[in-house]
Structure 1
Amino acid sequence: MPLELESYFFLSYARQDDRDDVFVSRFYEDLVAELDRLGEDCSRQRPFRDVERLALGADWERTLGREVGHCRAMVALCSPSYVHSLYCGKEWAAFQSRLENYQARTDIDARALIPVVWAPLRGPVPEVISRYQYSEHELGREYAEQGLMSLLRGDPAAYRRALRLIARRVQYAAGSFRLPTVKGLDLGAVRSPFPAQSTVAPTGRSTGHVRLFVAAGATDALPAGRRRHEYYGRSPLDWTPYHPPVHPTVAHRAQRVILEEEYTSSIEVVDDTLGSKLDEAMGENQPSVLLVDAWAARGAPYRAPLSDYDRQNHPLTGVLMPFHQSDDESGDGGLWEDVRQVFQRNWMRRNDPYDRLFRVQVDKEHFDDRLAEMVIVAQSRLMENAVPRRLPAGPPAPPMPGLNVPAQPPPLAEDPDDDD
């Protein structure tokens, strides 16, 4: 694979630690800036962080697998959430397997997996992590006791000291070793090494996939009565109801929430075939969620398919309508009266705490939780009522390779010296 297509490093982290991506984003940017200060130009081998590099509607699992299989180093932000995250465990195991393959070929212990204490772990540190220099004394007592995220928030001097040492370790790893790449890495087949995490993907009657549908306007086709352009982009998939957006789009944010629930997702725009697509999804044991712009729901081309949805029975489909307090136009009672006419049947159960599949006027602070609730409720219904899908018979899967953790790397003193 050409050098310029490799990521300089892969940032592995649990999204539950930082829902709004404020602190992870700050650390990522600071780390790239520190590498630049050390003379490393990452522009041709851009580091990988999912929010920045995952395209809207992308196959998350395939993209993550490709990047873990080709990155030059991996920085893991370890925390209680990290060791309970299925996909963090898969990323760790997949990259560690590359280190083992490299050592088998070269007899070199590559020090390219860099665990960082993002938030201190409760109880014993998993052996697979503790065998690395997880809590290094060079990083300071505050780092070991509080974690890097806490230092970022309240101790700038200790944070900068730890950041410099982490950057040196990344620079050394990316520049010293050429790990074998893995094409077509399937994270779905990788087992997590963390004892707190299940070793298999979501089970039961679900396929582990959620279908997202967006009904929203665009800058060149604003919904009737709408005057503010800043909430829209070139296509409905560029809709940002929470402005200024923390995430690129609400669709991208929804995909992140679903990934946190350990499911994959796909996304498309609502059209006249919505009803048949929802039926298809139910037949495939896949829940669906409609992300609806209240302004766009009132007229063409969305009113008819949304009204058809309302008249039909789709027990595995949720509806979520974002609302931002600063959007004075959307505070108009007439807008929501029109929306009530579109969803005449479902309107009676809006924001019902006992039936969480129809949510209106969802603000930015509650979007993630409301969407996660929808997925959980829909999955529960699916497990109770769906017909199991039979898979064709075949030979058993081969065993996964063992996880022989490389020996502990030497102290940082052997790395290139910092000029500071």
Structure 2
Amino acid sequence: MPAHWFFVSYSPVPPPGGTGVGRPAADKNVKEFYADLTRAVVNLGGPLTPPGVGYLDADRDDPAAVRALNRCRAFVPLITPRYFADPYCGRQWTAFARRAHRGTLVPALWTPVATTARPVRVDLDLPVPARPGAPLHVDDEALDGYARGGLYGLRQHSDHPEYYDQCVGRIAQGIVQAALGTPEPAPDEVEFTDLEDVPDAFAATSWHPLGIAVLAPDIHHLPAGRSDIKYGPEPRDWQPYSDGYGTALAERTAELARNVGFAPQIRTYDEAEPVFLGHRQTRSPWVLILDPWVLHDPEAVRRLREFDARDLPWVTVLTPIADDPQTRQARPDLDALLKSALPRRLSRGRAIQRGAILGLDNSEAFSSRFMELANSAAHHYLNRDRLRSSTTKSSAPADRRHVDSQGDQEAPS
């Protein structure tokens, strides 16, 4: 059988409540994209297109997957934040890159991934065919939509379905050009039979560190009258959402961080405060997870005001709102406490940051905002780090002290 022209590598999202046994199936949207891409490749390839032109890696237990990866002309990773946290996808990436016979990497952006969350160098723009090929037309609005929301965003939210079709067509064009420019591998050509023996290209050694600080009461230090149902022996045991996961929010936040390429470390606010106040140099961006109930303590309000007074764009704040009846009843008072403790961030931050501070009512909203704001904090941290590095190399010691004191100037977080 002729080699597949393209192999789609994909990391599925586990169902709620755990991954269960084996690997989850590719979802409906991914399967529909694969069908759309296959049709576009066949239309462009015409009579040269072989039967079985593509392969969707929707079942890793299928022995045909390894053979397809061995022999395909183009490797099409369907890029998501989760993709770079999936060791199996990392091994596929390595296996394809190390093949003796040539092949072409044609990435397809499914959902946006921040630069800081990419452990390997990969161009996520739409492919442009090499000369003398002329690129298929793609509207500027389609290019913008692809960059901002990926193919999934174009499928779900665009009022112009042709934008999605244009982007799929350009990816198909990259595949066809790669296929026609790559020799047919030998029928028995197999370079690897077990991906478990192949290194993960996305190994965690290249991940970016992320601090996760928790400011919440423990079960022994609750405000007067506060129910203890959401708390445990330590602040990191706080579990504001009753959504069946059974794990503390800090641990679930760390899992989210790993899914987008961060190496998280969980700390209490007491442990993180010297970094926030400039007494110790930061070595990572941070996310502060805040329980507004802790602000019934005037000392906690004072400390948070001191934090708020500093320009820290590399620290983002998220306030989960517990879903118990007592919290719902106390919401107006909790909102007032938040506004009192974080006036600067609530007056000068971006709308998305202000919304995250004023409250995230469920785990889905929290997860979504965490993904966006953790990446934003990482960008600010990397920009700050580059500025400090370039300035300290070119400045005298007296100037260096001045730069250090100004390194956290506001860039809206």
Q: Flag the structure with higher helix content.
A: 2
Larger RCO, structure (CA 8 Å, separation 6 or more): 1
Q: TM-score, normalised by structure 1?
A: 0.47
Please, what TM-score do these two structures have when normalized by structure 2?
0.48
